[in-house]
Amino acid sequence: MPSMTSSNDAPVTPYDGCGRCLLGVRRLSRVQGATSSPARQRDLILDAAARESGHIIGWADDWEVSGDTDPYTRPKLGPWLKDQHGPYDGLAAAAVDRIGRNVEEGLRLSRLNKEAGRLLLTADHSGWWDLDDPAQENEFTLKLFGARMEFHAIRTRNRQRAVQARTAGEVAGRPAYGFMHVRLAHGAKVDHTENEPDSAAVAREFARRLPADETGRVTVDSEAARLTRAEVFSPSDWSRVMYGKEPLGGRWSGNVIKRSCLSDASLGYLTHKGKAVLGPDGHPVRIAPGLWGRPTQSAPKARPAPHGAGRAFRRYCPLGRLSIQRDPTSAPLGRNQPGWSSDTDIPDRRSVLGSPWIPVQDLATSAESRSACRYGSSQKIRTRRTVTRRRCGWTRRPTTW
């Protein structure tokens, strides 16, 4: 059988229908250190598959993915489990905790995997998993339970470290949009924080445009649409690029711009949940030069919303669908009300870019005039079925639109 090598230097062989064509499952919450490294997981999976006369036809490598994530929603493993990447005969992992650290989701995966007639193999277990055997089922459940306990211990330890660093006035976590951490050596602690030129320029631009507008046409949502059309990295994608990862094509939103304008992190302060952390002297702890001053920070909040500030965004997608969605900052619309539709069913939502907005009242006026031209301006009567406590049961009551 000819051997190939995948892009991550993990060998794969073609699917031949032998009944033991396995999918290698690897996962890491953070790609660093030697423990459970990609190479180590690869070797354990290959050795376990060789012992059971199996071979690997592909790899589902989920890096920077928490163990608490549902396996069916993982970027790499999810499509395989949903049968979107071709046939395979089973899953092979280095350990049970690489499949997941959630007991309920791990048991659900094993059950659905068994119902599909597929095999399950991990290097921390001798042979194939037979979950019809009560002893092996208990062992598999205990391993998931232990992985869940370890997940809670890791999360508690990380939170305690963050609280300790915040109390000492030190930086913990990723920088806010417009800033970057500077380390003197790879893997060392953060030495200081400074402004990142590109993202800082973008932030200062929308912070300048919002309070300077006098027409009522520049809002946080119109700025989000402008930045999305200009293909400027959103804060989440910018953070990924800063840490050497591929961007996901996320879009800007008005809430993101609003939080950036009003957050104390934009003033250069150490923050927790968007508010400045106070030092022993009772003053905010400054870690970097601010992107702007306090007056600029309060300008978007102090500026009143213009009359009829509701916006309807029109989004075009390559599939030919049109979605009109109400501005989330205006009055909410229910899912069953006219003029509301969702683009969540579009497979590739990252390719859908926000186009210029139009006032909601103009859209309503246009729709009303077109309806009057087509159906006339006479009064419309509809009947609504209501439940009463009378013995007759259902009654009809006329209701005027």
Q: Among 149, 118, 120, which Cα is nearest to 136's?
A: 120
Spatial separation of the C-alpha atoms in residues 316 and 343, rounded to whole Å:
10
- Dihedral sign (CA 102, 105, 107, 109): negative
pLDDT for 30: 76
pLDDT, residue 38, reads 86
pLDDT of residue 179: 92
pLDDT value at residue 272? 85
Residue 280 phi/psi, 5-degree rounding, is -60, -25
CA distance 313 to 252: 13
Q: Which domains does the chain have, with CATH numbers?
A: 4-149 (3.40.50.1390), 179-302 (no CATH), 311-375 (no CATH)
Cα separation, 257 vs 234, in Å, equals: 10
> What's the pLDDT score for residue 67?
86
pLDDT at residue 282 in the model: 86
Pair 299, 210: CB distance under 8 Å: yes
| Contact predicate 280/332, CB 8 Å | no
Q: Write down the pLDDT at residue 138.
A: 94
The string of DSSP letters for 201-230 reads HHHHHHHHHHHH--SS---HHHHHHHHHHT
Residue at 63: amino acid letter: W
pLDDT of residue 58: 93
- Per-position pLDDT tens, the chain of length 401: 333 334 456 788 999 989 999 999 999 887 664 455 888 899 999 999 999 999 999 999 998 888 888 999 999 999 999 999 889 999 999 999 999 888 999 999 999 999 999 999 999 999 999 999 999 999 999 999 999 999 999 889 988 888 888 888 888 788 889 999 888 887 778 888 999 999 999 999 998 988 888 887 888 888 999 999 999 999 989 988 888 788 888 899 888 998 888 888 889 998 888 788 888 888 888 989 999 888 777 666 555 544 444 444 444 444 444 444 444 444 443 333 333 334 444 444 444 444 455 667 777 788 888 877 777 766 555 555 544 444 444 444 444 44
| Size of the chain, expressed as the number of residues it contains | 401
